[in-house]
Structure 1
């Protein structure tokens, strides 16, 4: 049983190896190719949970082939051994099951080590799932740690890439700064253009304002005319008002005339209305009188109907009494016929039941016969369909498997080669990266030195008294003399010592232009020179030979450096001076000047050293360019190495993928070979099994056919009896049906008479109600006739009062008055016409002024057109301004600085050149830097998440341990209590208990102490064999009280016990079998007497076992039946 559930060793099954479990054959039977054990569990109570818990019946099967390959199946689905073990985890049937006790192993529960007892306690507590979860958590913890290490490696790589991008981003940022400054200056330039156009627009606005004044004068004249026109309009309105008044007077007189005419018409209308009302009331009076006569006639008819209905009801009640007497007689006859029919029906049912029982037996036998024939047909079909596996395919699969394994080996070798090349590429990449870093560091040093010297030069030019004076006079942007010439760096100090303030000289086209500064001379010595193109020959050893300048500086250089020679130091200068002509001087590298009778020593300051710095700047720029080219080459080499590494990494990925594919293919082919071999063995076994079952099915079909013939003969006799009884029942049923029809007829006759009585009574009630209604209608008609007669009298009185007045004289007076009003109206209309003529004259004057106004508007339009040209210039300049430009800030800058357009344009061009001098700029560096930072932050976030996951998993393990401790402690207390109780029950007294060996229940063992009644033992090893067995049994059953397993299997657990203790053990098993199915292997009659079913295993044939089962309750029934 344990073996079928995925547990057990070969030694537990009395075998040296698992292959010995397969039937090896006997003299009469051939060997089997596999061994199989199947367990079927009733899971209606859902004891077995998990993914299979939804099934009410669960089948667990293990199949072992002769080559020691095991296959597990749950409900016919092949699963893993761990799936089977998980199914029984926590049910008492797991790895440390206390529900299956092998022969002679019951004492092991008592003799086991404390740690083993703790494992039994864990199985009882159901903490196996906690231990599994803890193991899974530990695996996840290890995986998380590995992921954390990989993430940290990625973090280092991406951090290095981030540092590289920072340097490129710095150059890009400088470029962006220059572009920003250029955009700002260019924006100010466009704004200045817009301001110039605006000023022109303002001038045009002034001219337009002058023209508008002229138009205002014309408008004033037009307005004066409008005032006069308004006065005329007012007089016209007053004349119109007077005309309207006269017209209203005339209309009022005409309305009075119309009123007199309407009064006469009203009298006629009122008389006509009264006559119509009189006619209507007379009509209603006649209709109501007619209705009164109708109601009186209807009343007479209803009285006759009531008398007739009363007579008919009396006659129907007499008929009802006669029908009821006939109904009673029909009921008596129907009852007699019904009792006779029921008696015959009972007899028929008894005969039919007998025939039905025979028919059921026949049907059962037929089903058994059909089932046997179907089984035989199915088995024959199965035998036919039991197709033999493809033996040729097995050979092909083995060959393909060998080839796949060889390909896998080659893929592994290729992977090794690729890994070696990848390591070489990585080493090369490191070398190129170091070389690039070295060149980049050198470039950064040169750039830094160059910037420092250029800053020093700018400070030198901007400091001193001359700076503000030159700026004030607009001379700051002009080049100085030292910027026009070149000299070796080591002789820069010597040249500056000779030139002194002339090194800062400024070139002019004519010296007369510099004389203008006499009124406001510079605050310090300043030289202006005329640039001329001449050629001069310098003597050997002179300073002029070391200086290179523009063609326009040759003349002044020859003049200023005439007679100046060079020497390394003062001693050499003195020696050289003796050989030179009179008036010559010698300058050393340090800048000291020697004349025939004087020595001038040089001293450096912030305002000096320009020539030397200029030479250094030139040298550094050349070196910067060479280093930049070298850095570019190093970068290209680094990129090439990176690409090579990436290619090798791609090859590594492909090699790993290929290896994985070959490994998967090899594993798949191996599985197919194994499966096909197993199918072949299963085919052979299945064929033999089907042939055996087919013979058995045919034998059962023959036996069923013989039994069926005997049953059919008996059924024919029973069927004849049923037919005779059915004829008698049919006759009785006919007589009963006739009596029932007579009864129904009588009932219907009684019901029809009663219905007629109810109908007549209802008609009588309706007639009486209609008679009462006719009385009420007659009274209402009388009332209405009185009302109509009163209305006729009132109308006749009103007609007598209506008269027609004479209005002829009043109408004639009003007609004369209307003629006077008509004459007044015509005079007012003439006055309105005169005023309208005056208004027409004013309108003509207004048109003349409008012509003058139009000429002034044309002149203004010309000015506006000129203004629009400047407005276009303004719009053009404004459109070039960026949308994001701050116009307020631009205006403040423009107002405070008042820059010239030419200066702004020159500044924009200078910034463009500076941007171009930066060379190739990686504009994506800033974006890549952001992306790389995001990647680094992402890796940092992953590391944080992984570290958090470590904490979470560690916390989960701690929580699992805490839950396990709590469950184990609670289980221990309950098992300990149950152990003491069961021990006392088995021994009829005594004491037993359990104890942890340590405070930590997760690692502590469980010690067991037991003392039977009358004994004081210090160790359970002092117990006898029977006592030890009962003690161990009490412990096992104590586990069951907490977590009952689905079943318990005891193999000769009662062997060491005497009959008294066997009786106790069997009684306890019988008591606990309410919750657990017990199976016990025993040879003792006392134990067997308590069992519900006995199963014996015999061996009639060598090597073949047979199982014999006896139900104890059924056997007792047979014994009692035989005794009676």
Structure 2
């Protein structure tokens, strides 16, 4: 790749579009001082990404734009484009020409282009990384850079070697990697903080979610248990209905036959009992013999089985022991053969080691002799140099120092004039006024922002409090609504039962009551108040009168009764009837009327009815009763002198009066709960409205805070810019003042030093002598001694390496021999142990065979006896079983036939009432089940798929379930039926235990209290976010590990490349330095041990001088040394071109000639573009580009091809 063109437009003094062509490898740029030659170097550096205005000889980056002249206006922008031919870059393998362009405008906005495509500065930097090109590369050597390079600090000089080694891109990548690592660590820290905060929220939400989930599970469990309890109640009522109907149909038919057969059954029963007693005695005798013989047989079988198992185990152990011993003997034989082989190898290696150790001692002696001879020569050479070089060095130093002092004096005077002019142009008053105004505006905005943030905080706190209150009230409102629904369902069920019990479902009767305006008349049940515990007795005595309608008088309904309705109709008058039957005064009992409070007159109905605490007390007074009198107990037993009526119900809730009391209590509770729910609803709506208002105010305040923050940021940005500008002006003024004082001091000091240097130079020139012959003789001796030392060192290293290899091999053989000997010892011990074990097993096996025959014979005898007894035992058991069956049959028949006829009639009547009540309850339970919705689970789905329907109801239910199978079960619900629920219940399920479970679940729900049901979704969302953040954290940690590994890899490659580069550049300098100086030597040395950070310093020794640091050399010597370094770097890693800006200025004609010869030789493979005033340097150029300023302040090029010009002259 070579530079073929530079296009400039508006860059510094090149105001017009200008193209500079570089067709050859040696192009010289010439012209008078100040014409703009160095602007060409600045243009190349600027395009390659230079961002320091100081390095471009300006105060700000916009200084590169043409600033106008006496006849021209300033340019608006500047542009420079570099065109490279024969690029061959890996980024653009198909392009032979690459264009790099940079533009800048008056707003200091730079734009880069690569092949006409807009790109970043980083892309340009990456393009030239490793090529030797760049804003700070060794390929561009401008004015003063030679002295800066040679006097640079070790760390700065290292940068040139890094660019040459091509590790600048590695350092850039390492820097980027470290920045990414820091960004990753910052992100990880922020992520950890976010994770911690999110974990706190998750902990709180998890607790709430668990409570909500537990609440929902308990609610589902409660619904399921209620449904199952209703199903069990439905089944109980259905069973009662079926049983009662069957009982009513069959009992009357069998009653007469059972009474006639009762006496005959008693006689037959007694005979069967006597025969069974005899059979039982015989069975016990046979059973005892049978059990004894069975125990003996079990004992013998166990003994024989244990003997057989022991015999097989011993045989298997013997086989295993023999096999193990054979394998061990084989391994022992192999190890003994391996020991013999190792002994032979150890003997051979020992002999070889002795021979090589003797050779190593001889080679080491030869090496020591050669090194001693070299040290003696080095001492002679140092002494010669010290004598011969001192006068020349002093003269050269003083001559160079004299030239340098004269140049510096002139530069200081020019700089002093420029500093004074710059100080007069600085003005800070306007900037300070603008700063004061901005600070006042910042204070006002900060005050307003603080007030808005405080208001925002207050609104947010109010919103949070309202949300918590709404959440609490919502939970309480939900709980109370649930209670209302539960109580409403229960009240509806009880009212349905009550209506059925009071015959309100009779349509004919209801129509007749409606026509006669009695449909709203109160029932006796609704007005009656009964003492606690006496409901059953009152229901028994009043009977159908509990359904009575309460009216004022019976006479007013006489006409309506001319057409009575179908069904039972009872009317009770509220008027008192004086014609009452008196109670007997002789009985010390309480009349039933004292247990009742009623608005209607019941005296005639209850006349003569007494109460007793229990049946025993009633029996005592039964004989004293009059014909119209009777006694009733609290247990529901009603008896007269010659009759008894009992009504017992399974369900206490079947009582009409108890049910009426429960209905009244539930209605009162529902009224209170409805009022409470209404109040809660109004309060919730009010709080929600207040929440919406506060949220609107909060959002508005947040918007104001954001706007104030944006205003504050903008003004602070302006303030920061003005403040930076003011500080820059103050710093610039102070710097110029200090620089002025420093320049005045330098001018005075350097004038005195100039006079002293001239005197010293005259003295040094008088002392110079020649030492040429002695130098040649010592140089010849050095070559011979170096070759001898190198040959002796190589031979010693070779013998030493071979000796070490044999010693390692010998130690390996010895270690292997020890290991095999130990293995042989272990194997011999193992063989002895296996032999002893084998003998013991064989002896045990022989003793085990004899006892088994005797045990087998004895077992066969016992088994024959066992079979005979088993047959006898079976016969005896069959006899007893047959007798027991007959006895049980007789007993059942006898109990059935013992029933009392009167009791039968009472039970028959009770069965009819209970059948009707059970039918109502069964229907009520079915209706309540229809209101319940249960989740569709996998268990229910499997049941629906695998169950064969036994009824139409089950078929319908299973069909509904199967329709939802295609959807997720957890998202589906179904209405259960009693049949499906009963099919899922365990066999021993009962209502009492299910009610206990429901009560337990209700208590758990009460203990949970108010629950945030939205916590489940919030927890799932936050948990997913937490999982995402955990994944991001793991990715960041993985990225850190990956970046750390990348840095380690970069460091390893950097060390290797830098070390190799340093060695190669040292070799190249040792070749370049004598060509430029006519002798002498120079080298680079590391300052520090770490190859990643160690600086680099130059040690140079021109001809005739002793070892010295670079700082003691003259200006010309420093320049030549720097040129030797740069060209040494070019030999290692040639850049596409090299630009030299008056580097030959401090050189005399002799050294300029050597410099030109070196450039000419290197130009065969490199492109040189040099700016010079030296005629000798101009002569080597193939093309000269002249820069002129015919128009002041505007540069124009003039190109001359030297070869063409010579041809024209010729």
- The TM-score with structure 2 as length reference comes to 0.38
Query: Greater Rg, structure 1 or structure 2?
Result: 1
